[in-house]
Amino acid sequence: MSSSSSHPLDAGMRHHAYSRKQKSLGLLCANFVSLYDRDGVDSIGLDDAARRLGVERRRIYDIVNIMESVGVLARKAKNAYSWIGFSGIPKALDRLEDEARRGITRSEGSGFKDDLEDELDESPDQYADEGDEKPSQIVNSSSLSSGACCKARSATANRREKSLGTLTENFIKLFLTTDRDTISLDDAARLLLGAIHDASYMRTKIRRLYDIANVLSSINLIEKTQVEARKPAFRWLGLKEGKMKADNNVTVVAPGPKKPTKRAFGTEITNVDSKKSRPNLTADKKPIKVQTKSGDMNECNRVALKQLGSKSGYAFGPFHPNGVMKRGADVEVKCGKGVQDWESLAASFRPQYHNQALSELFAHYVEAWKTWYVEATKGSRNLQQPFSKLVTSDLL
DNA sequence: CCCTCCCGCCAGCCA
DNA sequence: TGGCTGGCGGGAGGG
């Protein structure tokens, strides 16, 4: 993971080489944020986002689902989401914390409570929005029932329970309910899966957790740490309750605001050409997919959570790096106005992201950016007041 | 080698 | 139906 230059020969032709790093979900998320986190943005069209970010629509669904569960976005309608911003995070976290306290964990296998919740929150409107959140969730305590498997939920419900969004929520709840400083994805998967032992299911879950962790990292809600060698884990950073502001800050920098003239990452967007060199498998279709698993756990989850230890009153970590984040947390560029300058800067700079927003990686990036920034501004760093606080100079 | 995780197939769902 | 969603896991990048 070192920073730039990973490909030896890539110097000049950076876009022929395929580099998954430039296409990571975390990076995409960062770009997504920088693209929409500004004044005047309220509605986001999936197609538009995909086009501007240069990725396939499928990837936007991933980002959006995760972001929504964190309160940054709210689904408005088909193909349309409304941008709430980081100011929506506290509320979302409160809700999650509250649910976690009551022991509500959306189960993986059964959709029991989910359904109930669905009725309450989901469908009609977006909760993350204004003051009202979904009503309380009384619901269950169903630990037992859940385990009892009420399979059968409609396919829809079933599907939903396995959604990235739900997984994200449960993943976050783990952090909100444990005393542990860090949680590895393995542990998280284990805890979230409870009784399920199926290895392949587990593998799939972990893949998803990687996706989630990457975007949450790019948003600075969590950060990757290396606990034991070979076993990376994530630490919850969260945010400080009152301190959050509509636009606090968050990471990311990104390519140009507008349509990327030049894509800052990922070469051809749609992976048209350079994609990985897949063998020419033309014909063979994928074998039939097997719909494995089914069990569910739930009660187990709760128990598992317990094992992690429960906290009673947590004070989230500072969301804003300025405060507590350790090093390298992030940079931000947001702020609506005055973006022009940044935009141009960004355009010329073209940062190199790294895969996930691991803090170390980010640190590299930030460092590079910072350096560049200093040069660019030649000492006079405060070009705009709002930006003075911006970070660059103080991170790291 | 094995951890990471991108890619896109394809199945439900809904207008 | 066709388009939207998004689960899922193959398999390649990369340390």
Q: Domain residues for A318?
A: 8-276+295-394
Q: With a 7 Å cutoff on the CB, does A81 touch strand C? A: no
If one compares A108 and A119, the residue with the highest pLDDT of the two is A108
**In the structure, how many helices (H) and strands (E) does chain A have?**
14, 6
pLDDT at residue A210, rounded to an integer: 93
Q: With a 7 Å cutoff on the CB, does A20 touch strand C? A: yes
Residue A288 forms part of a structural domain: no
The gap between A284 CA and C11 C1' (Å) is 15
Residue A309 forms part of a structural domain: yes
The 10s digit of each residue's pLDDT in A291-337 is 333 333 344 344 444 444 444 322 222 222 222 233 333 333 333 33
pLDDT at residue A383, rounded to an integer: 30
Residue A172 forms part of a structural domain: yes
The 10s digit of each residue's pLDDT in A45-76 is 999 899 889 899 999 999 999 999 999 999 98
A54 exposed, middle or buried (CB, 10 Å; 0-12, 13-18, 19+)? buried
The gap between A47 CA and C1 C1' (Å) is 21
Among chain A residues 210-269, those with CB within 7 Å of any atom of strand C? none
Residue A290 forms part of a structural domain: no
If one compares A138 and A372, the residue with the highest pLDDT of the two is A372
pLDDT at residue A83, rounded to an integer: 92
Q: With a 7 Å cutoff on the CB, does A3 touch strand C? A: no
Number of domains in chain A: 1
Mean pLDDT of chain A: 58
Contacts of A305 (CB under 8 A, 6+ apart): A100, A103, A105, A173, A174, A177, A178, A191
Which residue, counting CA atoms, is nearest to the C1' of nucleotide C11?
A: A278
Residue A239 forms part of a structural domain: yes
The gap between A285 CA and B7 C1' (Å) is 15
Residue A12 forms part of a structural domain: yes
The 10s digit of each residue's pLDDT in A135-193 is 323 223 222 233 333 333 456 666 666 689 999 999 999 999 888 888 999 889 988 88
